[in-house]
Amino acid sequence: FDALQCYDEQRVLKAHCYTDEDVNGARTTILDQLHDIIYQREQILLSEVKHYERLFEQIRAGGILSEADENYVANLKKKIAQHQTLNRQFSFEDRYIARLGSHYASTLRGINNGYGINARSNIDIYFDAGRIVERVVREGLVHEKENIIGAISLVEQSASEASKLQPVMQILQEQVNQFFETVVMQTAVEMAQVIEDSLERESEASEFWSAVRSRWGRGSGFRNDVLDRYRAQLQHCDAVLAECVQEVWQAELMQKLLLFFGED
């Protein structure tokens, strides 16, 4: 389709050949054709989704796979279930304090005066907390995710073609990646709120903010004293993060993944 077929080289309508109705008609025709193509593709995708939903249900119910393929699925379920309890520690506090300490003393003063926001330097320590949590959680859990995907991939490679497990395992791997991203993002959101609560954002009555705001101009050691105050205020956050990750991991990844195997 040539969108400029009704125009000359100067992008002026070829009045002797075409009218405005011709232009609008050509535009309507191509839009209708695009709509038909999109609709047909949507129907194909919907059909594929329904097909795999039925296949999932049949696999859950059992009886359609060979004994060997049934064993692959059963062993996969056991391997995945082993990842339910993380027993991991996350070092958020050190990285967060290091981030705060990377600012100039005057910038840190501005952060304190703004209760965590330095608009002039475009710094928001609550936003920064969320981004650091994202990195810490992603780094801390990436091996768990890779081990789960590796176990699923092994079934994809080992199962018989007759089982039709290959596309199912591919979908499961995609879901693991999607669930993992949800775990990371949701944990970051929840922990950012924990940081806000811990630092009592915008609370003029807070002893913490009173202390760090009044420290400027009282001799050397400003940065270290202020960072020590932040560390004391946030000393519980690594433990809270570990608990939060475990809860979100269980709810947003493990439960949803094990649901495929018929686990409630």
Distances from the Cα of 158 to the Cαs of 73, 75, 80, 155, 163, in angstroms?
Answer: 11, 12, 17, 5, 11
Q: Are 133 and 191 in contact, with CB atoms under 8 Å apart? A: yes
pLDDT above 60: residue 169: yes
* Sole residue written with tokens 């054709």: 33
Least confident of 44-58, 165-179, 230-244: 44-58
Sign of CA dihedral 142, 148, 154, 155: negative
CA-wise closest residue to 88 among 152, 151, 139, 149: 139
Tokens standing for residue 40: 């047909």
Nearest-angstrom CA–CA distance, 171 and 174 = 5
pLDDT band of residue 249 (cuts 50, 70, 90) is: very high
Q: With pLDDT > 90 as the criterion, what percentage of the chain qualifies? A: 57
Terminal alpha carbon distance of the chain: 53
Q: What separation in angstroms does the CA of 159 have from each of 51, 56, 69, 154?
A: 19, 15, 6, 8
Give residue 201's pLDDT band: very low, low, confident or very high (50, 70, 90): confident
Query: pLDDT tier at 1 (50, 70, 90 boundaries)?
Result: very low
pLDDT band at 130; cut points 50, 70, 90: very high
Handedness of CA 198, 204, 210, 213 (dihedral sign): positive
DSSP code of residue 162: G
How far is Cα 151 from Cα 192, in angstroms, rounded to an integer?
Answer: 33
Q: What is the pLDDT of residue 259?
A: 83
Taking 80 as the threshold, does the pLDDT of residue 50 lie above it? no
- Is the pLDDT assigned to residue 208 strictly greater than 90? yes
Tokens of 25: 């008609």
More confident residue, 254 or 51: 254
Distance of CA 133 to the CA centre of its chain: 12
Angle at 80 between CA 243 and CA 85, to 5 degrees: 20
In this model, does residue 13 exceed pLDDT 60? no
Listed in sequence order, the residues at least 6 apart from 81 whose beta carbon sits closer than 8 Å to its beta carbon are 254, 258
**CA nearest to 52, candidates 175, 167, 177:** 167
In 3-state terms, what secondary structure has residue 7?
strand
Interval 81-106 mean pLDDT: 94
Q: How far apart are CA 216 and CA 112, in angstroms?
A: 10
Amino acid identity of residue 225, one-letter, is: D
**224 pLDDT band (50/70/90 cuts)?**
very high
Q: With a cut of 70, say whether residue 254 has pLDDT above it.
A: yes
Per-residue confidence band for 135, with pLDDT thresholds at 50, 70 and 90: very high
Q: 51 or 193: which carries more pLDDT confidence?
A: 193
Q: For residue 13, which phi and psi values (nearest 5 degrees)?
A: -60, 130
Is the pLDDT confidence value at 165 over 90? no
Q: How far is the C-alpha of 127 from the C-alpha of 129, rounded, in Å?
A: 5
What pLDDT is attached to residue 88? 86
Which pLDDT belongs to residue 66?
A: 83
